[in-house]
Amino acid sequence: MREKAEAVIIGGGVTGCGTAYSLAKKGLTDVVVLERGGLCTGASGRCGGGIRQQFTTEANIALAMESVRLFEQLSEELDTDIEYEQGGYLIIAYEDDVDQFRKNVRLQNSLGLHSRFITPAEAQEIVPLLNTDPIAGATFCQTDGHANPFRVVHGYARKAQEMGVEINKFTNVTDIVAVDGHIQAVRTDKGTVKTDTVVNAAGAHSRDIAAMVGVDLPNKPYRHEILVTEPLEHVLDPMVISFKTGIYFSQQKHGSIIGGIGDPEEPSSYNLSGSLRFLKRMARTMVELVPAFGHLNVLRQWAGLYDVTPDAQPILGWTEGVDRFCQANGYSGHGFMVAPKVTELVAELIVDGKPSMPIDDLTLSRFEGEITGEAYVVG
């Protein structure tokens, strides 16, 4: 492991590896990534791979739209097929969602996103197997979609390494040394790296990393469970999602359905075990929307952690009180889809001193004032 580096990134998920790649692209290659497991050990390797731009806050819509622009060229840029499909996101609307969803579409359209409110019949044209009985409509955006997170993370990591970044797997960060608010070094179980710049991309463990220098992040970890079915013939183009029931599912290139459902009764914890309760709730809710899936066999289920902030928006940028300590966490369940733009912005902040898009609304200090929460969250 290098003894010193211009920047140290903690976390080898999509944020850490994406930031390493973005820094290297900007010419900063004296960078060390520290990951306590393998790449994708955290949420990045456990997520649904969904990529949507239909949000309810301007900051999330802008980050997601810019990220889609970057996803569209990422396979070519990383020399790897990231299995990116733009089959759209169909957001199910129930009767009492309709007025708010129409407003959300107006906000999205005003920012240049081509989302639209559609009738149940139009929704069924997009998903022929959809049971439209319980629904009042949907919103749809064709340029939403999904990609393979493993391919994205490993693609970023490989390119960053080719440009000179050092990635250390199975290296646990145990402390950050700071004197008078200035970072001196990062300690690990494999040795110490001297640096004055640290990116906290430790996902649901970002709060513990921040605590090492006395910074209190408001992030909380929540278990989210997800499953994959046996493959079937192609029947589903978009990701189908409902914020009311918390369900989402899409069909992958190889034919399997991957999907999950949020649980309002889930307490904050680092629990990663699978539950029968999830399987039952997931099966019941999915089969209500797509009865034909009733015969599908589930191959595997697993769990990952959402890193949730009080307004369900990420925490990005420098930290008051600790010089050159950059936050890149708190994605609240949608960090994969915004990673291309977020990691570019973090690299711009570190190298140029200023990101190309304002991130003032996303810094840690926003919690000192009034906050507007993102509503489109799988809770």
Q: Are the C-beta atoms of 250 and 86 separated by less than 8 Å?
A: no
Closer residue to ligand FAD, CB minimum distance, 63 or 138: 63
Asked if 145 interacts with ligand FAD (CB under 6 A), we say no
Q: Which of 20, 22, 46, 200 binds ligand FAD (CB under 6 A)?
A: 46
Asked if 87 interacts with ligand FAD (CB under 6 A), we say no
Cα separation of 61 and 361, whole Å? 13
Which part of the chain contacts ligand FAD (CB under 6 A), choosing from 11-19, 95-103, 109-117, 154-162?
11-19
Asked if 330 interacts with ligand FAD (CB under 6 A), we say no
Asked if 282 interacts with ligand FAD (CB under 6 A), we say no
Question: Residues touching ligand FAD: how many (CB under 6 A)?
Answer: 40
Closer residue to ligand FAD, CB minimum distance, 94 or 302: 302
Q: Which of 87, 88, 137, 203 binds ligand FAD (CB under 6 A)?
A: 203
Asked if 326 interacts with ligand FAD (CB under 6 A), we say no
Which residues, at least 6 apart from 113, have a Cβ–Cβ distance to it below 8 Å? 53, 54, 61, 65, 141
CB atoms within 10 A of CB 60: 26
Closest CA to 183 of 216, 213, 207, 211: 213
Amino acid at site 52? R
Residue 306: C-alpha distances to residues 153, 241, 333 (Å):
18, 17, 5
Closer residue to ligand FAD, CB minimum distance, 50 or 137: 50
Contacts 24+ apart (CB under 8 A), 370-374: 371/310, 371/311, 372/57, 372/311, 373/57, 373/310, 373/311, 373/312, 373/313, 374/55, 374/56, 374/57, 374/60, 374/311, 374/312, 374/313, 374/332
In the complex, the smallest distance separating the C-beta of residue 133 from ligand FAD, rounded to whole angstroms, is 26
Site string for ligand FAD, 240-279 (x = CB under 6 A): --------------------x-------------------
Collapsing DSSP states into helix, strand and coil, what is residue 82? coil
Q: Are the C-beta atoms of 81 and 154 separated by less than 8 Å?
A: no
Q: Which of 306, 318, 325, 376 binds ligand FAD (CB under 6 A)?
A: 306
Asked if 88 interacts with ligand FAD (CB under 6 A), we say no
Asked if 50 interacts with ligand FAD (CB under 6 A), we say yes
Q: Which residues bind ligand FAD (CB under 6 A)?
A: 10-16, 34-37, 41-44, 46-50, 172-173, 201-205, 224, 226, 260, 304-306, 329, 331, 333-337
